[in-house]
Amino acid sequence: MRTFVARTVPLFLLLSLLASCGAPTAATPTTAPAAPTNAAAPSPAAPEPTTATNASGAAPATGDPIPIGIAVAQTSNVALFGQEQVAGAQVAEAYFNQNGGVNGRPIKVVLQDTGGDEAGTINAFNALINNDKVVAIVGPTLSQQAFAADPIADKAGVPIIGPSNTAKGIPEIGDYIARISAPVTAVAPNAVKAALEINPNIKKVMVLFAQNDAFSKSETVVFQHTVTDTFKLDLIGVQTFQTTDTDFTTQATNVLNAAPDLVIISGLAADSGNLVKQLRDLGYTGLIVGGNGLNTPNLFPVCKAQCDGIIVAQAYSYQADTPINQDFRAAFKAKQNKEPGQFSAQAFTAVQVLVEALTALDKTKKLADMDLAALRTALNKQILSGTYITPLGNISFTPPGDINQQQFYVARVKMSADGSSGAFEFIK
Amino acid sequence: MGSFFNTYGFLLTSMVLAASLALSLYLPLMAGQLSLASPGFYALGGYIAAVLSTRYPAAGNTLFPLWRLLAEMLLAGLASGVLAVLVGVPALRLRGIYLALATIAFVEILRVLSLNLAITGGAVGIFGIPQPFSTQIGYLWIAGPLLLLSMLFTYRLERIRVGRAFVALREDELAADSMGISPTCYKVLAFTLGAVLAGVVGAISAHFLNTWNARQGTFDASISYLAFVLIGGSRTFVGPVVGGLVLTALPELLRALTGVSGLPPWLGQFLRDGRLIIYGALIAIGAVFFPQGLITPDLLSRWRKLQP
């Protein structure tokens, strides 16, 4: 027994040391909300008088904040996307609170990390729904996570806006599930069209996709369909890889042997970046079209100068010339010191949709008078019935909750000569 | 209390399921076989339940009938058992690290198969799996008794002839063989018992997670189950159960800690963002202070002596 005690005591001492750090401040009364949100957001209790330009001229929001849940992957290998979404949502929180919030009441973005798996997503959703008492949730990052966690939110009657779930069948999970990410069928064909405009002589096309990624798997079907049926090109081969792969010699050699005029890649950022790098290293010089997984600046450090020229269809362009997008772009650049990407813009848009729906709802009936369940139900109705002018353009929802988006873009990666920096240049 | 179960119903059930999975890894380990195949059978059981329940949905808009869930569990257990015998007989000729490698390969083969077969839905997997319970905590009615039964089974197993043979094999295979214990027979038996349990847990998990895909039961999962057993203690069945319960709850406990009112913002921030760092550090500290795992037979017998 003695050895057990001797071993346990130091362990608990260590633990209590950790815990005691919080103790002194626990006694002091605070007026701040219990759950800590991101430190960068203006404190709702005491909004700082900032000098930032106030687009709509409304006063900064004050009062009891309305909690909005953000459940995306802040850890795991999906975090490359999740972190961009967090950045977008935080910019949205600061921006809309600066512009009067929900009829004067601020919003509060509550982050819960889903990790990269299904169980973590369900835990994050449960925490947001029951502990943080959010009015709605923006998330999760992956479609597979959405299939696991969305039914739980639907059953609890909490509106969900998927910021990046593009698989078939997401809005159909339930009445409370909507998304602002256009399905692949709408976005992907634009990139192939753009490639044909750059090089009208394209005949032979090779398709590669990450076999273990749900998104890439459904996207490649759309690409293959576009190649063979829409543009009547010659699909000379389909190669598969895994998102965890780092060596693509086999695939690259096969591509070079087949000598295609166009290569289409559906994968995630890290693996696709390496694939592009190895393709170029081995001497492929033709055009490369990338899927949505390549639609992130996180790709640039992977393939550096060899990223140059990758064509990616976009649901969002930071160059879009609308007031809301200019505001978003400026706010994002001020905070992150780079141009916003599609994932950030979609997260911003999801928060915007919620803020505008809450504002519209508040005008008919005061939000403070409704209990949480009624508020969530009414909010869901309001979300689906509204139209929104967002950085993604003018959007609305179909009755099941899918997005109606008018405009899509195509961008081409432009890298600096040494490969240290790059950007998506919009070609249409 | 109601809100506690709403929030943590999912977690409580995941803890119980994780404990069962840790037991499924402990069973072959009882006979000294380091097998990482459990996640493969877990995935197989899940696919069986997912395919059966989505291809033949229950009539009407009601809850999925409970007897069908039980039937799926039975079928998953049977299929896993048969596959375990087929795989086990050749694979268990390997020892130690080679067996571990072979079982990792087995899990990988199943994963690649599920990515390529049409019936498993490829990488997207199977979704919209019908629910036999209206709440997440409801699954505890199935998972709880399953864990208790498996614990009871293992408790008895450790004390009967077969269990003694397992332990003899674990301590010294040659000596056990010379005493008339057939190594192949008992090793395959231990392997199969673990596989059956993993398959049954998989069938529950498919319903429990609403969706099933090739990301379930991968190599990463093998490692976490192994951590359950090693941190919990690999010499008595209580160890893996405690390990599974504690290690599944820990990340969520740390998540809940961030919501405690009155924490200074920096600490809340650190607890939230660094929760996986703390989790990893605690595992490392646990391994340093308890090299035999948290629960050892020594400890259990001392506790027993303390009773009047």
CB nearest to A25's CB, from B259, B264, B299: B264
CB contact under 8 A, A151 and B263: no
Pairing mode, strands A393-397 and A387-390: antiparallel
CA A350 vs. chain centroid, Å, equals 9
CA separation for the pair A150, A118 (Å, rounded): 11
- Residue B274: what are its φ and ψ, rounded to 5°? -100, 20
Chain A residue whose CA is closest to B124: A214
Beta carbons of B211 and A144 less than 8 Å apart? yes
pLDDT for residue B279: 85
> Across all residues in chain B, what is the average pLDDT?
90
The count of other CB atoms within 10 Å of the CB of residue A171 is 23
| Nearest CA-CA partner of A136 in A116, A162, A174 | A162
- Which residues of chain B are within 8 Å of residue A120 when distances are taken between CB atoms? 251
For residues B165 and A420, give the distance between their C-alpha atoms in angstroms, rounded to a whole number.
63
Burial of B85 (0-12, 13-18, 19+ CB in 10 A): middle
What local confidence, expressed as pLDDT, does residue A27 receive?
34
* d(C-alpha A153, C-alpha A145), whole Å: 12
Residue A10 confidence (pLDDT): 55
Query: CB of A215 within 8 A of CB of A246?
Result: no
Parallel, antiparallel or unpaired: strands A177-179 and A137-138 = unpaired
Using a 10 angstrom Cβ sphere, with 0-12 exposed, 13-18 middle and 19 or more buried, the burial of residue B6 is: middle
Distance from CA of A102 to the nearest CA of B (A): 24
Please give the average per-residue pLDDT across B71-80, as a whole number. 97
Burial of A103 (0-12, 13-18, 19+ CB in 10 A): middle
For A408, list phi and psi in degrees, rounded to 5.
Answer: -125, 160
Q: What is the pLDDT of residues A276-302, one digit of tens each?
A: 999 999 999 999 999 988 888 888 888
User: Are A123 and B255 an interchain contact pair (Cβ–Cβ within 8 Å)?
Assistant: yes
Tokens representing A92 are 């949205």
The amino acid sitting at A348 is F
Residues contacting B38, CB < 8 A, separation 6+: B21, B24, B25, B194, B195, B198, B217, B222, B225
pLDDT of residue B109: 93
B126, B215, B242, best to mutate vs chain A, most A CBs in 10 Å = B215
In DSSP notation, A364-388 reads HS-GGGS-HHHHHHHHHHHHHH-EE
Q: Which long-range contacts (CB under 8 A, 24 or more apart) does A1-9 make?
A: A1/B302, A1/B306, A4/B299, A4/B302, A7/B289, A7/B290, A8/B289
| Residue B252 sits at the chain A interface (C-beta within 8 Å) | yes
Chain B partners of A86 at a C-beta cutoff of 8 Å?
none
Using DSSP's 3-state secondary structure scheme, residue B3 falls into helix
Q: How far is A11 from chain B (nearest CA, A)?
A: 8
Angle (CA) A165 A76 B294, round 5°: 130
Residue-level length of chain B: 308
Chain B hits for A165, CB-CB cut-off 8 Å, are none
Mean pLDDT over residues A144-152, rounded?
94
What is the average per-residue pLDDT within B5-22?
92
Chain A residues whose beta carbon lies within 8 Å of the beta carbon of residue B268: 35-36
Mean pLDDT for chain A?
85
Q: Which two tokens stand for residue B75?
A: 């079928």
A106-139 pLDDT, tens digit per residue, is 999 999 999 888 999 999 999 999 989 999 999 9
Does A89 score more than 80 pLDDT? yes
pLDDT higher than 60, residue A33? no
Locate the DSSP E strands across chain B: none
Residue that the structure tokens 């001497």 belong to: A283
Closest CA to A297 of A242, A345, A334, A364: A345
The one-letter amino acid code at A138 reads V
Which is more confident, A114 or B308?
A: A114
The secondary structure of A69-91 as a DSSP string is EEEE-SSSTTHHHHHHHHHHHHH
CB environment B18-53: b (16+ within 10 A), e (fewer): bbbbbbbbbbbbbbbbbbbbbbbbbbbbbbbbbbbb
Predicted confidence (pLDDT) per residue in A397-407, tens digit: 999 999 999 88
CB contact under 8 A, B210 and A127: no
Burial (CB < 10 A; 0-12, 13-18, 19+), residue B91, is buried
Look up the pTM and report it.
0.84
B160: distance to nearest CA of chain A, Å? 28
Q: Which residue of B has its CA nearest to A83?
A: B273
Q: Residue B242 to residues A159, B22, B101, B228, B300: CA-CA distances in angstroms?
A: 37, 9, 26, 8, 13
- CA B115 to chain A, closest CA, distance in angstroms equals 6
Which of B123, B267, B278 is the closest to A21 by Cβ? B267
Alpha-carbon distance of A404 to A348, in angstroms, equals 17
Q: Quick check: B285 and A11 CB within 8 A?
A: yes
Closest residue in chain B to residue A4, using alpha carbons only = B299
Q: Which helix (H) or strand (E) holds A209?
A: strand A204-210
Token pair for residue A96?
């809309």
- Give the best residue of A43, A134, A144 to mutate against chain B (max B CB count within 10 A): A144
Beta strands in A214-301 (DSSP E): 234-241, 262-266, 287-290
pLDDT tens digits, B261-278? 677 778 877 877 788 888
- Averaged pLDDT for residues A359-377: 92
Residue A177: helix, strand or coil by DSSP? strand
Contacts of A18 in chain B (CB under 8 A): 278
Question: Which of A47-56, A133-142, A180-189, A313-322: highest mean pLDDT?
Answer: A133-142
Tell me the C-alpha distance between B161 and B158, whole Å: 8
Please, are residues A140 and A148 in contact by the beta-carbon 8 Å criterion? Answer: no
**Angle, in degrees to the nearest 10, between helices B238-257 and A118-126:** 50
Q: ∠ CA(A92), CA(A93), CA(A96), 5° rounding?
A: 75
Question: pLDDT of B214-258, one tens digit each?
Answer: 888 888 888 889 999 999 998 999 999 999 999 999 888 888 887
Tokens of B146: 């399953």
Task: Say yes or no for a CB contact (<8 Å) between B127 and A211.
Answer: no
Q: Is residue B268 within 8 angstroms of chain A, CB to CB?
A: yes
What residues in A contact B54, CB-CB < 8 Å? none
Q: A7-21, A37-51, B78-92, B235-249: which has the minimum mean pLDDT?
A: A37-51
Burial of B56 (0-12, 13-18, 19+ CB in 10 A): exposed
The single residue listed with the structure tokens 């609403």 is: B210
Does the pLDDT at position B42 exceed 90? yes
Enumerate domains of chain A plus CATH numbers: 66-182+322-397 (3.40.50.2300), 186-314+409-426 (3.40.50.2300)
Residue A368: is its pLDDT beyond 70?
Answer: yes
- What pLDDT digit, counting tens, does each position of A36-86 carry? 333 333 444 444 433 344 444 467 778 889 999 999 999 887 887 899 999
Note whether B272 contacts A36, CB cutoff 8 Å: yes
Which structure tokens are listed for A367? 């939000």
Q: How many CB pairs under 8 A join A and B?
A: 140
Q: Across A14-28, B54-68, B292-306, which has the greatest mean pLDDT?
A: B292-306
